[in-house]
A and B are shown apart, each in its own frame.
Chain A
Amino acid sequence: MNSQQVLAQFQATGVQTCFHDRHINPQIYAGLNGSNWRLKDYESRGGYQALRKILGKDGVAGNEAGLTQDQVIGTVKESGLRGRGGAGFPTGLKWSFMPRQFPGQKHLVCNSDEGEPGTCKDRDILQFNPHIVIEGMIIAAYAMGISLGYNYIHGEIFQSYQRFEEALEEARAAGYLGDGILGSNFNFQLHAAHGFGAYICGEETALLESLEGKKGQPRFKPPFPASFGLYGKPTTINNTETFAAVPWIIRNGGAAYLECGKPNNGGTKIYSVSGDVELPGNYEVPMGTPFSKLLELAGGVRKGRTLKAVIPGGSSSPVLPASIMMECTMDYDSIAKAGSMLGSGAVIVMDDSRCMVESLKRLSYFYMHESCGQCTPCREGTGWLWRLVDRIHRGEGRATDLDLLNSVADNIQGRTICALGDAAAMPVRAMIKHFRPEFEAMISKSARPLAEPV
């Protein structure tokens, strides 16, 4: 075996994470097997029919005129689709913010910089169903009158970037991308770009900076990207999974999509379940599915242990204890009501053997490592948080440390340009709120006066 063959043995097949029969009514992951990602396979699953429909090229009598931009945006609004990247902002509303009459170049950007710890759903979409993202982006571009787009892909999943580039070539050759798409007068050029190891570039304005060839430091908002985005021009940015949801919505209608989920939380959602479960992986289920059902799909808590806590929406979302989590349904509103966020849908499961101090220590290290350094409260505060949690974990905590941790978190949250500061602060506050006795026990066992500053 040569070295390439050696490495090839260890590559993921998608069998464990994506091609299992434990999705519920999937739309994005439906019918995938790892080898059917090409254009012809996608078309045989009904792919590019939504694009044909909006352009009036689907051969359906009476639809020769296709859909207007307002009709497409109206359908997406009606669907209740909300941004799958983390914020859950209504997609149709975001699209309506684009100044369609702006005379200059407008841009469409897909945020595939999937680096929120716990999240691995977009990787499987790009790897195993790339054309669904391309079609979703073309439809969005049509709806907003945009002729140039980029998909910015996490550098760590370079193979998925290469796969997406290959899919783009197929779409161009078939006339789905480029000038005069399917014989219409609609033009759209789409390219792939990649990151190279900076969590902050998942923040949309940092991503734009990176796409402009700069270090990824977030911009002040306002102005928002809809008015001042890529190269200073109006830009709409959506997550990979958001775009991937669009073709189904156009084919089946907004109302049908909304009915898949629950009011204000339309459609299916892909949850990346990681940590202490028997079957970690991606699970596409209707919005509003009970957490207990999702846990069951993932094989339950590992080794028959008891559930202790869940971080329900990626590492930035506040942790919830098992008792609260087991009462939740998996949708934006239920998780928000419980005091956390659905975020990217990354569900990190922890069993009763887990030390919350150690867990928080690792998360705090991550935010310190990834702070871009632009805002002092975040640059200094994330390091301070880590040093405090590390000290407690080493058995050198002081009685006042929990109050100090909360105070440092308070002085970061809401005081920075972007949400990374909040993302560092929220796990700290939630961990102390729900698991305070665990922290106190570690402090009191070892409480001894230390003179040196943190």
Chain B
Amino acid sequence: MSSPQHTETPVALSADVLALFAKEVAKYPAEQKQSAVMACLTIAQKEHGFVSQDIERQIADYLGMPQIAVHEVTTFYNMYNQHAVGKYKLNVCTNLPCLLRDGGKALKHLEQKLHIEMGGTTPDGMFTLQQSECLGACADSPVMLVNDLTMCSFMSNEKLDQLVDGLRAAEAAESGAGRSEGQA
């Protein structure tokens, strides 16, 4: 993912992205290409940070489905970003099993640490903080999902500090290098 985009400037899906799309489409019967829509949206979001209407249109064309049908999927599933988010999207689970093991406190701690409220993004565009529903890692609480990919477990306040400070330091060191390696 490149740095956050705040406009709906059309983007061209790269050859690499299209190759990943093709791999997903190949999983399904030829007449059922639409089945790959969730995977394609996920791949595009990873590359571009969020799913713009322009990306939805390109995926719709690629899969031969109406754009509105793609939009229905984007808006139904919680993890698709419909707008630009910070470079690191932090999703902290606060569902009951996590709430019993400091999931709520972890969210509060991050709000204070990052000086933003749940749902907000830091002014430097680095972090977006969200409350999430069950991540399916209840015994690891407090748990947090970073950029829809990396599950971070047993996140005590000390570890949360370590994570935020560590990412900031890594970004400072990498700045100027163009693309970040942080978006696995």
Give A contacts to B, CB under 8 Å.
Answer: 1-12, 16-17, 105, 114-120, 122-123, 148, 150, 154-159, 191, 193-199, 210-216, 231, 272-276, 280-282, 311, 315, 346, 348-350, 354, 359, 362-363, 366, 369-370, 372
B144-167, CB < 8 A from A: 145-146, 148-155, 159, 162-163, 166-167
- Write the chain B residue with the least CB distance to A210: B38
A282 to B137, CA, bound (A): 10
Q: Which residues of A contact B182 (CB under 8 A)?
A: 2-4, 6-7
Q: Which residues of B contact A372 (CB under 8 A)?
A: 76
Q: Are B72 and A214 in contact (CB under 8 A)?
A: yes
Q: Which residues of B contact A281 (CB under 8 A)?
A: 139
Interface size of B as a range: 35 or more
A4 to B149, CA, bound (A): 11
Give B contacts to A, CB under 8 Å.
Answer: 27-29, 32, 34-39, 41-42, 63, 65, 69, 72-73, 76-80, 88, 94-97, 99-101, 132-141, 145-146, 148-155, 159, 162-163, 166-167, 169-171, 173-174, 180-184
- Write the chain A residue with the least CB distance to B184: A4
A273 to B65, CA, bound (A): 43
Q: Are A11 and B38 in contact (CB under 8 A)?
A: no
6 contacts between A and B (CB under 8 A): A3-B174, A9-B166, A117-B95, A199-B133, A273-B139, A348-B100
Most buried by A among B39, B134, B148, B155: B134
- Write the chain A residue with the least CB distance to B77: A196
Q: Are A275 and B97 in contact (CB under 8 A)?
A: yes
Question: 8 closest pairs, A vs B, by CB?
Answer: A3-B182, A197-B78, A213-B34, A197-B79, A10-B152, A215-B76, A6-B166, A274-B97
Q: Are B95 and A366 in contact (CB under 8 A)?
A: yes
A16 to B139, CA, bound (A): 9
Would you give the shortest CB distance from A188 to chain B, in whole angstroms? Answer: 14
Q: Which residues of A contact B167 (CB under 8 A)?
A: 3, 6-7
Q: Are B79 and A315 in contact (CB under 8 A)?
A: no
- Write the chain B residue with the least CB distance to A191: B27
Q: Are A11 and B170 in contact (CB under 8 A)?
A: no
Given A2-B182, A213-B34, A280-B101, also A155-B27 (CB < 8 A): no
Q: Are B100 and A274 in contact (CB under 8 A)?
A: yes
CB < 8 Å neighbour of A118 from B88, B97, B150, B152:
B97
Most buried by A among B138, B152, B181: B138
Most buried by A among B27, B96, B153: B96
CB < 8 Å neighbour of B136 from A2, A156, A216, A311:
A156
Q: Are A156 and B151 in contact (CB under 8 A)?
A: yes
A198 to B132, CA, bound (A): 11
Q: Are B137 and A123 in contact (CB under 8 A)?
A: yes
A27 to B95, CA, bound (A): 30
A315 to B93, CA, bound (A): 14
Q: Which residues of A contact B152 (CB under 8 A)?
A: 7, 10-11
CB < 8 Å neighbour of B79 from A122, A196, A212:
A196
A281 to B141, CA, bound (A): 10
Q: Which residues of A contact B132 (CB under 8 A)?
A: 156, 197
Q: Are B180 and A3 in contact (CB under 8 A)?
A: yes
Would you give the shortest CB distance from A14 to chain B, in whole angstroms? Answer: 10
Most buried by B among A3, A10, A114, A122: A3
CB < 8 Å neighbour of A213 from B38, B138, B159:
B38
Given A155-B79, A348-B97, A359-B96, also A116-B134 (CB < 8 A): yes
